[in-house]
Amino acid sequence: MSSSLINPVHVESTGGLSVWVRGIGATITGWPAAYRAALAKNRRRTILLTVLVATVLLYPLIYTAIPSGLTRILPLPSSPVIVFMLIFAIMAIGLNVVIGFAGLLDLGYVAFYALGAYTAAFLASPHWGGVSVVLFSNVPAGFPGIHLPFMFIILVAAAVAALFGALLGAPTLRLRGDYLAIVTLGFGEIVPIFFKNLVNVNFSFGPIQLVNANLTGGPLGINPIDAPGLFGIKFGVINGFAPVYLGMGLVLIAIVIARNLERSRMGRAWMAIREDEIAAEMMGVNTVRTKLLAFALGAAFAGVAGALQASYQGATTSDFFMFSTSILVVIMIILGGIGNIWGVIVGAVFVQYVDKTLLSWAGQRMADIGNATGLEQFGDINPSSFSFLLLGIALVVMMRFRPEGFIPSRQRAAEMHVAPPGQAIGSIGLIEEEGLVPELDPTEPGGDEDPEIAEVPGEEPVGETIAESRGEVTDEEQPR
Amino acid sequence: MTVAGTTAQGPTPLTGHVPDDQILVRARQVTKRFGGLVAVNAVDFDIPRGSIVSLIGPNGAGKTTFFNMITGAYVPTSGEISFDGHAIVTTKGSKVRSLKPHQVTALGIGRTFQNIRLFSTMSALDNVLVGQHVHLRSRWWDAVLRTPRNSLEEEASVARAHELLAFVGLDERPHAWARNLPYGDQRRLEIARALATSPKLLLLDEPTAGMNASETRDLTDFIRRLRSELGLTVLLIEHDMRVVMGISDRVTVLDYGEVLAEGSPAEVRANPRVIEAYLGRGAAEEA
Amino acid sequence: MDDQLLQTIIIGLSNGLIYALVALGYTLVYGILQLINFAHGDVFMLGSMIALTLLMMLGVTPGMDVTTTIALIVVVLLVTMAITALLNVSIERIAYRPLRNAPRLAPLISAIGMSFILQNVGLLWKGPASLGFGDVIPNTNVLTTIFGFDTAVELSLKQVFVAVVTIPLLLVLMGFVGKTRQGKAMRATAQDPDTAGLMGIDVNRTIAITFVIAGALAGAAGLVQILYNNTTVWNLGFRFGLNSFTSAVLGGIGNLQGAVLGGIVLGFINAFSDRYLSAQWTNAIVFGVLIAVLVFRPTGLLGQQVADRA
């Protein structure tokens, strides 16, 4: 062994832009080979996933082809619902970075959603009627207001949200878990209130003077907002199912970013902080800055989602952003699977589906039954007004029986059934005592293969368990 | 400046023997009060470069508290600590300033814990990778954009992690979760993780706790290797006297937060005050 | 003193006492379980709906004779308190007790879920619109009619009623927790449940009693809300819960006197904000106060009596 073992790794020249581009190119062109490898390893699962992905991609076309009679029997989500599923999927991925990766409870996520939406409203609408800035936009030149291209707005929205995330996090991240939750909740309420009330601003500071300025459009909000546009195609709510593909593209980017973060130096640092913050700090992790980064990066996702939503719908108002939206995203993560990118996407899709499609469909069917049988009570029941109830019950039940969600990351699943730090050794006993799911606690996860989807390893622990080896140990050496 | 700690035979002063730049850790008048309780009382303590020093004493003597102050986990009530020429703790009047633990780690102090504090649902490899965190240069945007710096650094750090695991004898199951490892392997993993932080000084807090005789021997040899092969300075808290006497260059005895005695193992073992502290006055009189 | 100022103070004090009653519930539960009971504000909301329903069932209307009115109000008060106490202890049984040993996240999320459930119950029961109730206690100005002052300031009989109901309850509660054996058991359990259990205290029962008390207080507050503010709505719990929780935090969570002090201060903040600023900013200010307290002085004004068992 050389003494260089003690030295940190040092990477010299990294080759610059060309190496980077080539690396990305290799990843992209390598996918047929990667696909073949996946096929070889687990044929059935790969084919299943392929079919699933194909169905998802072709869904909008399938939907339009279905005769209307069938939609009475099958509650199928329409295009706008799918777009909202995707918007919330982006948020769920982002909040998963905060809650799932870093273990910080944020109950005010809607604030960043709102910031993103209003960023789009400010940068792509006639709101600032006094000026006219039209760049790379479908809007005719000279049109009042600021009109910037959608892709640029998304980046600005992400930056704005991240900035506010950092501002919120800086003084508050050192608070204990439940206090942090309350503070974020407060922030989540204050931001929409500001957007609602800044309608009559009188403000002068040096050369800046505002008289009766309507900064945010108040409760009426800002509209119309330019629909997203790329290469001449529009992706607004009136543009059929094109927005679905824009949404899918953004979700894909979100997944890639989240995954890259998860498997990086930062991702490991977040995991370590979650496990044992003090030990992480002692191992050199700047816990304050690392948590702040999780907060800010997580917020950025919500900013993008908000910008997408406002542009898609063509309007935004402060009434749209409520505490319940923050909790809705939390529910998506908790139901879907905490810490697991795919799990939270499933959670987002499922909750949106229930909320927007299933419940109203059920209501209509109730009405049908009522009309058919003559029992009016059926028509009076409105399942949509039960949504809070169902979500609440889901939360209580999940916490009781499966707090990690349906498709969690393995770490989080294990953690949820584990004692606090400093008692890690006893944890196996805890799981066995409670008879909880031992197969989520693998000894040989098999390295880098897709750890997102919790799988059941078939192997038994190799070597002694901790309990067994402890039994051998004696205390005879201690002098006291 | 002399090293404090008076015994009947007098202290073995370091200064005069060892030039200042060979002192890795210099602690002066370090005191820690918890409310009314004085855990550490005006302790002076030096660690020469390349030495293996043991800190011993009855339970509650303040050893782990002292460790915690060196690493920045506790802020002393007063005193000064410097490491490798850098100030860790400074006192101006009544204001005491201490570096944060992650800053101390960056300077080159690594540690293990009395009760193992591994990241239990992370693999052994990942635990060691977290240890490398402080010296890695990749930032979050490198990760998001998959820059060459990120890929190359990840490769290199994984390779180094495997080497570190092999060094402590753990390369068999690098992907096993830390909490699934047998107790002895967990202890070794903690050391590997501490080594990953590229320390100059390694603090080991009761490393042989729970070990049988042969494991203890292995660990003792291992600690020697840390010095001979990696050039580390080691500070141990230990209760196992054979380990202490076997590998220490110097032994410092703490009792009730004060330095009771200091010197070579032989000197300390013969010191009547030390014997009295451990075994009672009767035993001391017999000695 | 300027009339408007005095009036604002009176209004602030009255609402503040109601906040204090609910805040006590938050602080009691937090003290003993280290749990922020999100659902508590909604128990208060349901209490107000229950009180409303009972008042209507018993035919209490404005203009009835004094003795009947008082007697019926007392009956409604006691029944409402009993129902909300039962409701609260059931919530503890269903949503919190099974999670006693789970990571801290779990009961908090469960509490949020419970809050949603209760809100929806209120929504389904009484509909989305806010409900009104007449002035069963006449709004007569005590200062002019009874004391004969010549002033524009109003101290309504309703406000006197608020004080008459809330202040004795607060005192009884303080006495109970401070002086009785059960109160001592509660304080011991709040400090260290494991040792309390070893000393022979039935921890489960003590926790249950805490929830009973908190629930009863919320029910009483609900009745006062109906008779003083004359209104209730399914999402009343959220705004009230916020104010009450902020009161508890401001006063020092876990500290009973602090909860009362905090409630009164929050009453003032609300009243002053409504009067001198604008009602639309009041919520933001209350949240601002909450964040400021947590960031700058998390132990609150009167400090925390419960050891920090993070």
Task: Name subunits touching B (3+ CB pairs < 8 A).
Answer: A
**Closest residue in chain B to residue A465, using alpha carbons only:** B182
pLDDT tens figures, C101-129: 888 778 988 999 999 999 999 999 998 88
User: Is the CB of A430 inside 8 Å of chain C's CB atoms?
Assistant: no
The answer to whether C108 and A182 have CB atoms below 8 angstroms apart is no
Confidence (pLDDT) at C135: 83
User: Is the CB of B252 inside 8 Å of chain A's CB atoms?
Assistant: no
The answer to whether A341 and A258 have CB atoms below 8 angstroms apart is yes
Task: Quote the ipTM score.
Answer: 0.88
**A–B interface: beta-carbon pairs under 8 A:** 229
Confidence (pLDDT) at A253: 95
* B/C touch flag: 3 or more CB pairs below 8 Å: no
| CA–CA separation, B95 and A246 (whole Å) | 58
Contact C105 A403 (CB under 8 A): yes
* B/A touch flag: 3 or more CB pairs below 8 Å: yes
Contacts with B122 from chain A: Cβ below 8 Å? 268, 271-272, 275, 411
User: Is the CB of B216 inside 8 Å of chain A's CB atoms?
Assistant: yes
| CA–CA separation, A280 and A268 (whole Å) | 10
| CA–CA separation, B267 and C44 (whole Å) | 73
The parts of chain A modelled with pLDDT lower than 70 are 1-3, 13-14, 71-72, 376-380, 418-480
Q: Which of A189-203, B3-17, B141-155, B230-244 has the lowest mean pLDDT?
A: B3-17
Tell which A residues from 374 to 403 touch B, by Cβ distance under 8 Å.
none
One-letter identity of residue A444: E
For C263, half-sphere exposure in the C-beta direction (CA atoms, 13 angstrom radius) is: 28
Q: Which residue has the tokens 């707005």?
A: A153
pLDDT tens figures, C57-98: 988 888 788 888 888 999 999 999 999 999 999 999 999 999
pLDDT tens figures, B120-160: 999 999 999 999 999 998 899 989 988 888 888 999 999 99
**Considering chain C, what percentage of its residues have pLDDT values greater than 70?**
97
The answer to whether C258 and C300 have CB atoms below 8 angstroms apart is yes
Contacts with B178 from chain A: Cβ below 8 Å? 424
- Written as six digits, the tokens of C276 are 């001198």
The conformation of residue A419, written as its DSSP 8-state character, comes to P
**Closest residue in chain A to residue B275, using alpha carbons only:** A479
User: Is the CB of B258 inside 8 Å of chain A's CB atoms?
Assistant: no
pLDDT grade for C220, boundaries at 50, 70 and 90: very high
Mean pLDDT of B17-22: 70
What DSSP element (H or E) covers B165? helix B148-167
User: Is the CB of A421 inside 8 Å of chain B's CB atoms?
Assistant: yes
What DSSP element (H or E) covers A233? strand A233-234
- Written as six digits, the tokens of B149 are 């710096």
How close C65 gets to chain A, by Cα (Å)? 40
User: Is the CB of B107 inside 8 Å of chain A's CB atoms?
Assistant: no
Contact C294 A392 (CB under 8 A): no
Confirm or reject CATH 3.30.420 for domain C3-296, answering yes or no. Answer: no
| CA–CA separation, B246 and B254 (whole Å) | 19
Instruction: List the single residue in A179, A334, A392 with the smallest CB-CB distance to C114.
Output: A392
Confidence (pLDDT) at A266: 95
The answer to whether C160 and C166 have CB atoms below 8 angstroms apart is no
Structural domains of chain B sorted by starting position, each given as residue range(s) with its CATH number in brackets: 49-72+99-286 (3.40.50.300)
- Sketch the domain layout of chain C as residue ranges: 3-296
Interface test with A, best of C117, C281, C282, C296 (most A CBs within 10 A): C117
| CA–CA separation, A391 and B14 (whole Å) | 69
pLDDT tens figures, A40-56: 888 888 888 888 888 88
